[in-house]
Amino acid sequence: MIKPRRTKGRLRAGEERYRRFMSMLTDAVLMHCGGKCVFANAAAARLFGAASPKEMLGLDVLDLPHPDFREFVQQRINLAYGGELEKLQEIKILRLDGHPAEVEIMALAITYQGLPALQMVLREKTFLRLGEEVHRECDNRLSQVTARLQALENLTAGVSHDLNNAIMAILGNIDLAAMATSDGKELWDRLAAVEQGCYQAKEMVKQLETFAKGGTPKKKPQDLVKILKESARQTVTCSQACVEFSLPENLWQVEANLGQMYQAFGNLFINAAQAMPAGGVIRVQAKNLNEKEASDQSLPARKYVMVTVADQGTGIGPENLSQVFEPYFSTKPKGCGLGLATVHTIVTNHHGYILVESKLGEGTTFRVFLPAAGQEVLPVLSEKRELLVGQS
């Protein structure tokens, strides 16, 4: 037979364990008996803005909901006492300072010291929304990781394929050169093909190095007008496309690495020309952006030079637009998929930004934002718009 003193001791120990457990919960827990609060955990005190759980004791149960929900809460309390488990969606409560808050409540009828009581679990809606946001962020991060893994797979396959083609071309032409006649002409033709294969492999390795290499390139103020025109002359003049420049007076210089700038804009011009195999106009514009104009473009508030490169090609479908900067992704039959990935890497390493817009049948527009080199500006330029025409 258990002695009454030992039974009371066990009850007190059990009640203390219950209180300790409730104090660890992040959800607010209230217990009402006879319409008054007889227990509250620390989370409930925080939810209602009380200094401590003791401040909650003795409060009337119907003083806690917002006046617009008190009748509704009373009905649900009656259902809970009847044995039904009720979940209250998006009801409002009143904190002790009078400010409202949206919560969800689960109510359960229990017995407290031999009397009917009601235990309520409350969770603030802002907490639920935070959980949903965390869940969405995890999904987004997982999608990004999956996309990166796919891009890495494409990069590995593309590098293996292109390097193998270049090496096979070099080895094949060396074998043919060894069998060439001694008159020299066939020998020199084969050696020229070997040389071309070497240049192709070298260019691909250069693109890969730029794409893979992190860190900040060595930069100094550069004449962007010269870079744009020289890049176009080097890349477009052998195509069916032509380049139309519209450059303002006093265009700011940019803080950049000269070689990488030639590479970035050269790739953009090549991409535009390839999008118009039958010919067309590549329109190149530039504009100075002050701090406010940069902020209006959702950029960090500093001075930029914005360069726009627009073609009249077939455009890019919306399902592919988000992948254009991924390595070895290309919508062109003969595209290698490294050009735009390299452009993105170069612009990012220069603390710049690049945006793309495209519509099927209307062409594609790239906007590059590069940090300006202080207040220094270029000499006044002619207002005449120049047209650079390619040769067939």
User: 256 or 325: whose pLDDT is higher?
Assistant: 256
User: What residue ranges of the chain are covered by domains with CATH 3.30.565.10?
Assistant: 220-389
Q: What is the DSSP string of 181-210?
A: -TTSHHHHHHHHHHHHHHHHHHHHHHHHHH
- Nearest Cα neighbor of 48 from 56, 57, 38, 39 is 56
Average pLDDT over residues 324-351: 73
pLDDT in the model for residue 381: 39
Whether 238 and 273 have beta carbons less than 8 Å apart is answered as no
For 167-217, the pLDDT digits (tens) are: 777 777 777 776 765 656 777 777 777 776 676 666 666 656 655 554 556
Average pLDDT over residues 211-236: 79
Q: What are phi and psi of 245, to 5 degrees?
A: -95, 140
Task: For the chain, give the percent of residues with pLDDT over 70.
Answer: 67
Other C-beta atoms closer than 10 Å to the C-beta of 287 total 17
Q: Which CATH class is domain 220-389?
A: alpha beta
- Nearest Cα neighbor of 37 from 14, 61, 54, 55 is 61
Write the CATH number of the domain with boundaries 4-129.
3.30.450.20
Q: Indicate if the alpha-carbon torsion angle 190, 196, 202, 205 is positive or negative.
A: negative
Average pLDDT over residues 86-100: 77
- Out of 3.40.50, 1.20.1070, 1.10.287, 1.20.120, which CATH number does the structure's domain 147-212 have? 1.10.287
Q: Please name every residue paired with 123 in a beta bridge, in sequence order, or none if there are none.
A: 104
User: What residue ranges of the chain are covered by domains with CATH 1.10.287?
Assistant: 147-212
DSSP class of residue 82 equals T
pLDDT in the model for residue 284: 95
Average pLDDT over residues 275-303: 90
Average pLDDT over residues 64-93: 77
Average pLDDT over residues 210-237: 78
Other C-beta atoms closer than 10 Å to the C-beta of 336 total 17
Whether 348 and 213 have beta carbons less than 8 Å apart is answered as no
The model scores a pTM over 0.75: no
Candidate from 53-67, 272-286, 329-343, 359-373 with smallest mean pLDDT: 329-343
Task: For the chain, give the percent of residues with pLDDT over 90.
Answer: 16
For the cut 70, the answer to whether the pLDDT of residue 256 exceeds it is yes
From start to end of 23-159, where are the E strands? Answer: 28-33, 36-40, 86-94, 100-112, 115-124
Whether 254 and 292 have beta carbons less than 8 Å apart is answered as no
User: What residue ranges of the chain are covered by domains with CATH 3.30.450.20?
Assistant: 4-129
CA atoms within 13 A on the CB side of 219: 21
For 261-277, the pLDDT digits (tens) are: 888 898 899 889 988 88
CA atoms within 13 A on the CB side of 89: 0
Average pLDDT over residues 101-112: 83
For the cut 90, the answer to whether the pLDDT of residue 254 exceeds it is yes
Other C-beta atoms closer than 10 Å to the C-beta of 315 total 20
Distance, CA of 120 to CA of 117 (rounded, Å): 10
Average pLDDT over residues 337-363: 86
For residue 336, what are the CA distances in angstroms to 165, 171, 196? 12, 22, 17
DSSP class of residue 255 equals E
pLDDT in the model for residue 178: 67
Report residue 309 as tokens. Answer: 């490169």
For the cut 70, the answer to whether the pLDDT of residue 121 exceeds it is yes
pLDDT in the model for residue 391: 42
For 27-37, the pLDDT digits (tens) are: 888 888 888 99
Average pLDDT value over all residues in the chain: 77
